[in-house]
Amino acid sequence: MHEAYQQVTESDESGPRMQEDYIKKRTSLKNRLAAAGNWYGLRESFSIGLLALVPVGGLYEIHNQRIESLPEPVFTHLLDVLSEFRGDYLHKLGEAASIIIESAVFQYREPHRTCFMQTSEAFVRDLSYHSTELVRVVEQMYF
């Protein structure tokens, strides 16, 4: 708590107002950390690149809150099933996307934007869930 909100302490002498502020910020921090747990598990199981490929919102109607609110044992079981049945594929896809994300964050090299401009949403949507073509499209962005 102290690292996130260094200016707020539980025993601050400023009185009840500061303690109320401390409690609000502590609750907010606890909620953020709890919400991040499933995303962190996904990242640890596959890679950071896979986080960018989770279809949240829009057409798929998967919202961040639905992933964040799954109980940890249920989400762990989901990760186990994904790993067993789609593990190799998800690792390849996540690794390809990770290279692009790390490159953008650390400014190694700019990805090839033309790949996404030439790839229609319908094309990607029509690919099978286990398509190596999707891995190829993501890899083309960088290589």
The pLDDT profile of the chain, 143 residues, written as one tens digit per residue, is 566 666 655 555 556 666 788 888 888 888 888 889 999 999 999 888 888 878 777 776 778 888 888 898 999 999 999 899 888 888 888 888 888 777 777 766 655 554 444 556 666 667 666 677 777 766 666 55
Task: Kindly report the pTM of this predicted structure.
Answer: 0.64
65: in domain: yes
Domain membership of residue 134 (yes or no) is yes
Task: Establish if 34 belongs to a structural domain.
Answer: no
Domain assignment of residue 3, yes or no: no
Q: Please, are residues 136 and 142 in contact by the beta-carbon 8 Å criterion?
A: no
Tally of domains within the chain: 1
User: Angle between the 72-106 and 132-140 helix axes, to the nearest 10 degrees?
Assistant: 30
Q: How many CB atoms lie within 10 A of CB 138?
A: 27
57: left (phi > 0), else alpha (psi -120 to 50), else beta? left
The answer to whether residue 19 sits within a structural domain is no
* CA gyration radius, the chain: 20
Question: Is 89:130 a contact under the CB 8 Å cutoff?
Answer: yes
88-104 per-residue burial string, b: 16 or more CB within 10 A, e: under 16: ebbbbbbbbbbbbbeee
Phi, psi of 134 (to 5 degrees): -65, -40
Task: Give the range of the structural domain holding residue 71, as residue numbers without chain letter.
Answer: 46-140
Please report whether residue 11 resides in a domain: no
